[in-house]
Amino acid sequence: MTGLPENHRQDRPTPDADPDETAPLPLRGRIGDAAASGYWPAPGRYRLHVSLSCPDCLGLAVIHRLRGLDAVVDLCELPDPPAPDGHYPQLGAAYRASAHGYAGPFTAPLLEDGWTGRGVSNQLPEIGRDLARRFGHDGPELYPEWAAPRIAAIEELCAHGINEPAQRAGLPAPAPDRAAALRRLLANLAELEHRLRAHRFVLGEELTAADVQVFATLLWLDLVHRWHLDADAVHEIAGYRALWSYARRLLELPAFHTDLRADRVERRH
């Protein structure tokens, strides 16, 4: 659909509370600026566990590489495929160390504190922000102060304006519901198309975290959602030339293609 190269085609509970064994444990620790914060940015302390069959996890790997964190935070690739329930038994020890009696599921991504063996966070946006802001100053400034509200708006657009309607448009449902979801999807893709006709990146002429988010969202659309859409819808989506040209330009950057495993994404989903 997009012309991407085929080889590039992927409130914290109280620890002693009785956990819900069917719901993922929300870990919301944050990396602070100093030792008083509890989790401070000590080099070599943390491990970032990601599944490269998940485009959202890939977005974190992109941030990790853009900021040059190889010697600061270990990037740990989880084996694919995951367990039949979509989770990772390998992360069980970190989750159990974080909440007494917790029995799963064990979800990725996970930022783990190597000093204690506990999970710090499994929240995508917060992990990305802390990786970009708290560990060194190499690479682009992905979360500049001027861009904070605009990055949040792009995250909202990707989650609820593209991923959600793309999924709805491909599900068995009454035709009017699918048509409404497709119209919403196309309208939001058109917004990104308009931006990228005028600028090199989503927020202007500088690469920011908004571009990482859009990249992961386009992977979901191209590698997962499109297989559930009809041919006419796929043709319309492919017509956003500036958007897909932008995706191919990002793929020319090593940080965006080094960890991309498109075949794994397609097999998993």
**Domain 6-134 architecture:** 3-Layer(aba) Sandwich (3.40)
* Residue 170 near residue 237 (C-beta atoms within 8 A): no
State yes or no: pLDDT of 19 exceeds 70: no
pLDDT at 23 over 80: no
The third-level CATH classification (topology) of the domain covering 145-252 is Glutathione S-transferase Yfyf (Class Pi); Chain A, domain 2 (1.20.1050)
**Within a 10 A sphere around the Cβ of 43, how many other Cβ atoms?**
11
8 and 224 Cβ atoms separated by less than 8 Å: no
Q: How far apart are CA 145 and CA 231, in angstroms?
A: 42
Residue 265 CB contacts under 8 Å (≥ 6 apart), including other chains:
9, 10, 52, 53, 54, 55, 219, 223, 224
Of 11-15, 32-36, 54-58, where does the model show the most confidence?
54-58
Any idea which residue has 């039949």 for tokens?
84
Query: What ranges in the chain are assigned the alpha helix state H?
Result: 55-66, 92-98, 124-134, 148-156, 164-169, 175-198, 209-219, 231-238, 241-251, 254-257, 262-268
In angstroms, rounded to a whole number, what is the distance separating the alpha carbons of residues 253 and 70?
17
Q: What is the pLDDT of residue 211?
A: 98
Half-sphere exposure of 4 (CA within 13 A, CB side): 28
Whether 237 and 162 have beta carbons less than 8 Å apart is answered as: no
232: pLDDT strictly greater than 80:
yes
Over residues 38-64, the pLDDT tens digits come to 899 999 999 999 999 999 999 999 999
Contact, 98 vs 15, CB < 8 A? Answer: yes
Integer distance in angstroms from the first to the last C-alpha of the chain? 17
Give the domain ranges of the chain: 6-134, 145-252
| pLDDT score at 6 | 44
Predicted TM-score (pTM) of the model is 0.89
Q: Please report the pLDDT score of residue 24 as a whole number.
A: 83
CB 221 within 8 A of CB 162: yes
